[in-house]
């Protein structure tokens, strides 16, 4: 047998090709496959640069797996290359056909290879795809130092056979790996399901799910985040690093994340979408992806929602500190674990859920009972509102009714938490899109964040201003424009569950039936409502009140105008009022409930030239007219839209009596008032006219009585003083006897002059003040006035052994000890600025008032007691006296003197109450003010008001009684 012949070159190539194909078929390790392929290419082909890369379809990138370079530096051959549109590498991947390059150093479609080509002097290059069927698995790059890219047919065939076998092996390995992973996923999920069956506590089940997920996916950490609907935030309930977290935990991992922070991530979870953020790829928008990764402090994230009954309960998140490509196996496993958690999550609150369902059923049944029960609608709604607010942890329960005449929604019922005020505004009509949204809705429409949601945009400013941050809206009826709406509001951002929305929908439909029944009831009782308004208005007009106080009278007139306006539903009701003999009318506002009206309330309206007044005077009953008929003179004080409607009627009692006013009712749009409502309104206006006449007569009689009382008191006190002075003077004359010397004659002449002055003053009083008080204008230093007043009560002070101190005149009045152990001020210094203060007005009457107050203080003081007189200049309207411990409120004077007389004595609390200005007084009832000393104090109080001053009575906490007198001071330029 001879020696075997050496194979020729062609045979050697075929043998090498068969050997490499055999090795590729038998090898399972990917790294060995790549090394085998590279070795074959080195031996069989003359190329200086060899590079093999795998294609990542998900991220559209090439992952370098190795190759050969002239300097054996393979670091850059394992780099990751991102495929960009127009690149040569992307063209090969997409078209899956070989591509040649004559000179790699000058190829503009492969700029990232220029540096490598220049370094190794690479020119001619060929790029071939590694594919199987229609799927590209990678590519092979071969570069040589020769220019051009020609490859012989035989060499190209061998190369394509090797790459085809490599692609088939790689594809099979990938399929085997996916099959193994899928099988492993099923096994792991089944194992986890078995573990969950043995656990009873939800936290233990969450811990098992987290540990299984972390073991399978192997991320940096695995967390379960729970969603809190009240507040709309997520908190970390379970983690592989921190087990059994509390929602109030202060650790960083358990810190809450608000929906506002998560935004797009949250909305993706609510629609049951898995969120994947990996190496250069994200299922969210790019700008939000970076924000989310920064918030979680990770570089890769895979999150699957946990949903039960269409409601988001939370999400399972696997987080990685490195950039990572999440495989389909990872996604399927995480999604499967999240599904298992959603099945076991309800078991934690199963009992409370069953109880809640029972309570919801009870609530709906109670509302349904209100449809056919005889209970008051308000009572039914009140009970329902309380339960709904408690069930949904809401702040307000609002029932809105559409007003077609005013084109807005008004609150026909509202209920809120005990510390919230009812809403007083109206809401605009719905925009077309919002109306269509409610028409198509079959459950409650939810707005979780009113700040960001554009629905119901024209309601948003008013709702936000009143603290509303989220709300639920249900239509109660099914008209083209939903006439009745039920709105539930929260003061925090909140997400409602499907069960809550369905419950509210059922409640709203039942309330809709109640509302329709309510409307039918209202129509049948329209006459009763008019009668009730009629009765209420008559009751108001017949109320007993203090007619001496003009403010109280106007208050009742305003209340009566409100009732009159309510019959016609007018948002504007005013009274043009005047007294007999006056030429101008004043405006008494009753109701101004709309910003579209403008009333110049301080205007003085001439009666003879005002068209509205004259039109009403010449009309026997009421007159209705449109606002565009108003004259320009009327529009100076009355601003009404041209589309408005007006009703005027004169306050006429009898043909022989003068008219004293005109009632004006108006609406900002044209209305059709029923004859029944107009007739009732006319009757009430007529009753108001009679009431005003009766009150004017009563006020006139009381005023006359008051003036006569003042006059009687004043004359009596003046005569007493005149009698005292006259008696004293006569006594001195008798004691003096016949003047024998010049000094006696001088004193005699002085006494006669004093008697003449007294007689003259008596004559003036009898002449000028026969039937009414005459107010004169004089000035006097307060020191002199106090000195004279104290001299008049000297005997009374000595009898009761009282001590009197005057403060605030620069220094205390000098005191002298009497032989009977009593002290009295005898002189007032006049050198200080304070003592130079002078008051202006009718000095005689002011002196009598001060005397009356001093006499009252002496009579009420105990023997040996003390009386203090405090003087203080007031330059402000509101001052707190640190000595007196009570708050002073000034009068209209810029500068006034506060004179306070304090003493320790007994005074009836009822008398203090009756002397208070704002206390209503029943004229027919017994009062301490009907007889002295209360009558004298009341007269002094009223007299001081006429003199431009003020008199008040108080009792301090230490039981001292204070008589506080405000007197106008003389200015520096007077």
Query: In which residue are the tokens 């629905």 written?
Result: 455
Q: How far apart are CA 727 and CA 366, in angstroms?
A: 90
C-alpha span between 368 and 365 (Å, rounded): 5
Could you read off the pLDDT of 492-528 as tens digits, one per residue? 888 888 888 888 888 888 888 878 877 777 666 666 6
DSSP per residue, 520-564? HHHHHTHHHHHHHHHHHHHHHHT----TT-HHHHHHHHHHHHHHH
Per the CB < 8 A criterion, the answer to whether 300 and 326 are in contact is yes
> 12 Cβ partners below 8 Å, 6+ apart?
none
> Within 13 Å of residue 306, how many CA atoms lie on the same side as its CB?
24
Measured in Å, how far apart are the chain's first and last C-alpha atoms? 157
Distances 157 to 47, 433, 449 between C-alpha atoms, Å? 17, 67, 66
Q: What angle do CA 538, 540, 543 make, to 5 degrees?
A: 110
CA distance 693 to 577: 12
**pLDDT score for 540:** 65
Among 620, 624, 621, smallest CA distance to 645 is for 624
Measured in degrees and rounded to the nearest 5, phi and psi for residue 966 equal: -110, 125
Please list, in sequence order, all residues whose beta carbon lies within 8 angstroms of the beta carbon of residue 79, skipping any fewer than 6 positions away: 64
Read off the pLDDT of residues 357-397 as tens digits, 9 standing for 90 and up.
666 666 666 666 655 555 567 777 888 888 888 888 889 99
258 backbone dihedrals φ, ψ, rounded to 5°: -75, 155
Bridge partners of residue 768, in order along the sequence: none
Q: Which of 303, 301, 306 is nearest to 338 (CA)?
A: 306
Angle subtended at Cα 857 by Cα 852 and Cα 860, rounded to the nearest 5 degrees: 120
Give the bridge partners for 487, in sequence order. 398, 473
Residue 577 is predicted with a pLDDT of 87
Specify the pTM: 0.42
**pLDDT at residue 10, as a whole number:** 62
The reported pLDDT for the residue numbered 849 is 92
Provide the pLDDT for residue 690: 84
Task: Return contacts of 55-64, CB within 8 angstroms, 24+ apart.
Answer: 55/93, 55/136, 55/137, 55/138, 55/139, 56/325, 58/278, 58/281, 58/325, 59/278, 59/279, 59/280, 59/281, 59/325, 61/279, 61/280, 62/89, 62/93, 62/138, 62/139
Tokens describing residue 777: 């204008």
Distance between CA atoms of 747 and 964, rounded to whole angstroms?
40
Instruction: Let me know if 649 is exposed, middle or buried by CB neighbors in 10 A (0-12, 13-18, 19+).
Output: buried
611 closest CA partner among 588, 572, 637: 637
The DSSP-derived string for 844-881 is HHHHHHHHHHHHHHHHHBPTT-EEEEEEEEE-SSEEEE
- At 304-318, the pLDDT tens digits run 999 888 888 899 999
The mean pLDDT of the chain is 79
Looking at residue 621, what is its pLDDT? Answer: 85
Cα distances from 654 to residues 343, 540, 896, in angstroms, run: 85, 22, 48
Q: What does the alpha-carbon distance between residue 829 and residue 974 come to, in Å, rounded to a whole number?
A: 22
Instruction: Please classify residue 475 by burial: count the beta carbons closer than 10 Å to its beta carbon, then call 0-12 exposed, 13-18 middle and 19+ buried.
Output: buried
Enter the DSSP assignment of 841: E
Q: Which residues of the chain have pLDDT under 50?
A: 1-6, 243-255, 544-549, 551, 811-835, 876-893
Full DSSP string of 152-185: -HHHHHHHHHHHHHHHHHHHHHHHHHHHHHHHHH
CA distances from 865 to 407, 804, 849, 956 (A): 73, 9, 22, 17
Q: Which residues pair with 399 in a beta bridge?
A: 413, 486
Q: What are phi and psi of 964, to 5 degrees?
A: -105, 120
Q: What is the radius of gyration, based on Cα positions, of the chain?
A: 51
Q: Sign of the C-alpha dihedral, residues 605, 608, 610, 615?
A: positive
pLDDT of residue 816: 34
Distances (CA, A) of 738 to 248, 728, 859: 108, 17, 40
Tell me the C-alpha distance between 282 and 287, whole Å. 11
Nearest residue to 398 (alpha-carbon basis) of 232, 493, 511: 511
Write the CB contacts of 610 (distance below 8 Å, at least 6 apart in sequence). 576, 585, 633, 634
């Amino acid at each position: 047998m001879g020696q075997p012949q050496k194979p020729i070159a062609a045979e050697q190539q075929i043998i090498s090709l068969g050997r490499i194909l055999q090795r590729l078929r038998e090898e399972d390790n990917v790294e060995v496959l790549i090394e085998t392929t590279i070795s074959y290419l080195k031996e069989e082909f003359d190329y200086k640069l060899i590079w093999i890369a795998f294609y990542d379809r998900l991220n559209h990138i090439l992952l370098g797996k190795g190759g050969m370079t002239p300097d054996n530096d393979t670091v850059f051959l394992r780099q990751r290359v991102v495929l960009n549109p127009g690149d040569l590498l992307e063209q090969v991947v997409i078209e899956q056909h070989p591509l040649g390059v004559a000179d790699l150093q000058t190829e503009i479609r492969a700029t990232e290879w220029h540096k490598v080509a220049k370094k190794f002097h690479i020119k001619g290059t060929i790029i071939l795809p590694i594919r199987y069927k229609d799927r590209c698995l990678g590519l092979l790059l071969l570069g040589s130092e020769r220019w051009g890219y020609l490859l012989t047919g035989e060499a190209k065939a061998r190369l394509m056979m090797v790459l085809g076998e490599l692609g088939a092996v790689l594809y099979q390995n990938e399929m085997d790996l996916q099959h193994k992973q899928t099988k492993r996923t099923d096994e792991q999920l089944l194992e986890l399901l078995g573990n969950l069956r043995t656990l009873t506590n939800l936290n233990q089940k969450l811990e098992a799910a987290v540990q299984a997920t972390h073991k399978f996916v192997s991320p940096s950490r695995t967390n379960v985040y729970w969603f809190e609907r009240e507040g709309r935030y997520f908190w970390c309930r379970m983690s592989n690093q921190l087990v059994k977290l509390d929602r109030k935990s202060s650790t960083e991992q358990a810190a809450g994340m608000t929906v506002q922070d998560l935004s797009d991530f949250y909305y993706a979870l609510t629609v049951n979408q898995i969120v994947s953020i990996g190496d250069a790829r994200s299922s969210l928008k790019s700008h939000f992806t970076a924000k989310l990764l920064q918030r979680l402090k990770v570089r890769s994230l895979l999150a699957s929602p946990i949903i039960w009954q269409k409601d988001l309960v939370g999400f399972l998140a696997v987080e990685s500190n490195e950039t990572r490509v999440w495989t389909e196996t990872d996604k399927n496993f995480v999604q499967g674990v999240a599904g298992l958690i959603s099945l076991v999550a309800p078991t934690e609150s199963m009992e409370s859920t069953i109880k809640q369902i029972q309570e919801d059923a009870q609530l709906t049944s109670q509302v349904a009972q209100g449809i056919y029960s005889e209970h008051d609608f308000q009572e039914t709604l009140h009970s329902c509102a309380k339960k709904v607010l408690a069930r949904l942890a809401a702040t307000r329960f609002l029932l809105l009714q559409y007003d077609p005449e005013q084109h807005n929604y008004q609150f026909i019922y509202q209920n809120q938490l005990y510390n919230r005020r009812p809403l007083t505004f109206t809401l605009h009509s719905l925009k077309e899109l919002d109306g269509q949204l409610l028409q198509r809705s079959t459950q409650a429409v939810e707005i979780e964040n009113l700040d960001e949601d554009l629905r119901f945009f024209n309601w948003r400013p008013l709702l936000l201003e009143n603290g509303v941050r989220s709300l639920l809206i249900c239509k109660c009826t099914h008209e083209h424009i939903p006439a009745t709406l039920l709105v539930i509001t929260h003061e925090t951002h909140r997400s409602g569950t499907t069960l809550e929305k369905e419950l509210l929908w059922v409640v709203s439909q039942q309330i809709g039936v109640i509302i329709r029944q309510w409307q039918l009831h209202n129509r049948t009782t329209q006459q009763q409502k008019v009668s009730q308004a009629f009765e209420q208005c008559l009751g108001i007009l017949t109320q007993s009140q203090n007619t001496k106080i003009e403010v109280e009278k106007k208050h009742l007139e305003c209340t009566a105008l409100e009732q009159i306006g309510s019959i016609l539903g007018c948002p504007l009701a005013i009274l043009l009022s005047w007294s007999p003999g006056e030429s101008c009318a004043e405006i008494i506002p009753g109701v101004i409930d709309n910003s579209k009206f403008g009333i110049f309330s301080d205007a003085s309206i001439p009666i003879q030239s005002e068209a509205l007044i004259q039109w009403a005077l010449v009309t026997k009953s009421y007159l209705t007219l449109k606002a565009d008929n108003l004259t320009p003179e009327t529009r100076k004080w009355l601003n009404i839209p041209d589309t408005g409607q007006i009703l005027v009627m004169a306050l006429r009692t009898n043909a022989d009596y003068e008219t004293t006013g005109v009632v004006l009712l108006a609406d900002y749009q044209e209305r059709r008032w029923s004859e029944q409502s107009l007739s009732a309104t006319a009757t009430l206006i007529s009753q108001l006219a009679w009431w005003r006449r009766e009150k004017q007569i009563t006020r006139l009689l009381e005023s006359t009585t008051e003036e006569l009382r003042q006059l009687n008191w004043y004359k009596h006190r003046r005569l007493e003083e005149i009698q005292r002075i006259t008696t004293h003077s006569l006594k001195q004359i008798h004691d003096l006897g016949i003047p024998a010397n010049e000094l006696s004659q001088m004193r005699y002449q002085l006494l006669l002059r004093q008697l003449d002055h007294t007689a003259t003053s008596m004559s003036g009083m009898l002449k000028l003040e026969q039937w009414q008080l005459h107010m004169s204008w004089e000035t006097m230093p307060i020191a002199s006035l106090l000195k004279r007043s104290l001299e008049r009560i000297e005997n009374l002070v000595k009898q009761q052994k009282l001590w009197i101190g005057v403060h605030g005149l620069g220094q205390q009045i000098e005191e002298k000890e009497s032989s009977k152990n009593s002290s009295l001020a005898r002189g007032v210094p006049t050198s200080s600025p304070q003592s130079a203060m002078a008051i202006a007005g009718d000095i005689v009457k002011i002196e009598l008032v001060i005397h009356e107050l001093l006499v009252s203080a002496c009579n009420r003081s105990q023997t040996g007691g003390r009386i203090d007189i405090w003087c203080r200049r007031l330059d402000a309207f509101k001052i707190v006296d640190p000595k007196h411990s009570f708050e002073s409120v000034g009068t209209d004077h810029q500068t006034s003197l506060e004179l306070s007389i304090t003493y320790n004595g007994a005074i009836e609390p009822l008398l203090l109450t009756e002397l208070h200005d704002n206390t209503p007084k029943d004229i027919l009832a017994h009062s301490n003010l009907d007889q002295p000393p209360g009558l004298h104090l009341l007269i002094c109080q009223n007299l001081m008001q006429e003199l431009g001053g003020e008199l008040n009575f108080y009792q301090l906490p230490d039981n001292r009684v204070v008589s506080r007198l405000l007197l106008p001071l003389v200015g520096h330029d007077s």
